[in-house]
Structure 1
Amino acid sequence: MGDSTVKNGKGNGDNDQWGWGSFFEQFFDTTKVSVENHALGGRSSRTFFTEGLWDKVLPGIQTGDYLFIQFGHNDGGPLNTGRARASLKSIGNESETVIMERNGGPETVYTFGHYLRVYIRQAKAKGAYPVVLSPTPSNQWTDGKMNRMTETYTKWAKEVAAQENVPFIDLNDLTAQKCDALGQVKVKELYKDNVHTTRDGALMNGQSVIEGLVALPDFGLQKYIIRK
Structure 2
Amino acid sequence: MKLGNVTLLCRYKWHMNRLLIVLPLLLLLSAFIIDSKRPVIYVVGDSTVQNSDGNGTNEYWGWGTLLKAHLDTTRISLHNHAKAGTSTRTFMSDGRWDKVLAQLKPGDFVLIQFGHNDQAAINDSARAKGTLKGIGEDTVHIFNLKTRQPEIVHTYGWYLNKYIKEAKEKGAIPIVCSLVPRNKWKGDKVDREIEYVNWAEEVTKASGTFFINLNQLIVNQWEQQGKDAIKKFFPVDGTHTNLAGATENANAVAEGLAALKDCPLKGYLK
What runs of 5+ residues in structure 2 fail to find an aligned partner?
1-43
Select the structure with the greater relative contact order (CA < 8 A; seq sep ≥ 6): 1
2:242 alignment counterpart: 198
Q: 1:131 aligns with which of 175, 182, 189?
A: 175
Taking a change above 3 Å as real, the CA distance of residues 143 and 170 of structure 1, as seen in their structure-2 partners, is same
1:146 alignment counterpart: 190
SS in 2 for 1:43: coil
- Report the AA paired with residue 149 of structure 1: E
2:20 alignment counterpart: none
Is 2:254 the counterpart of 1:210?
Answer: yes
Larger radius of gyration: 2
What is the CA-CA distance between 1:97 and the residue it aligns to?
0.2
Q: How does the TM-score come out when normalised to structure 1?
A: 0.95
Q: Name the CA distance, whole Å, in 1 between partners of 2:206 and 2:93.
A: 24
Checking the alignment, whether the CA contact within 8 Å between 1:8 and 1:41 is kept in structure 2 is no
1:86 alignment counterpart: 130
Q: Name the CA distance, whole Å, in 1 between partners of 2:54 and 2:178.
A: 21
Bigger shift: residues 104-113 or 11-20: 11-20
Q: 1:64 aligns with which of 71, 83, 107?
A: 107
- Report the AA paired with residue 96 of structure 1: V
Q: What's the Cα RMSD here? A: 1.4
- Identity fraction in percent: 43
What is the CA-CA distance between 1:33 and the residue it aligns to?
1.0
Higher helix share: 2
Is 2:143 the counterpart of 1:99?
Answer: yes
Taking a change above 3 Å as real, the CA distance of residues 15 and 223 of structure 1, as seen in their structure-2 partners, is closer
SS in 2 for 1:172: helix
What is the CA-CA distance between 1:77 and the residue it aligns to?
2.4
What is the CA-CA distance between 1:15 and the residue it aligns to?
5.2
Runs of 4+ in 1 over 3 A off after TM superposition: 8-15
Is 2:91 the counterpart of 1:43?
Answer: no
Checking the alignment, whether the CA contact within 8 Å between 1:138 and 1:147 is kept in structure 2 is yes
Paired residues in the alignment total: 225
SS in 1 for 2:174: strand
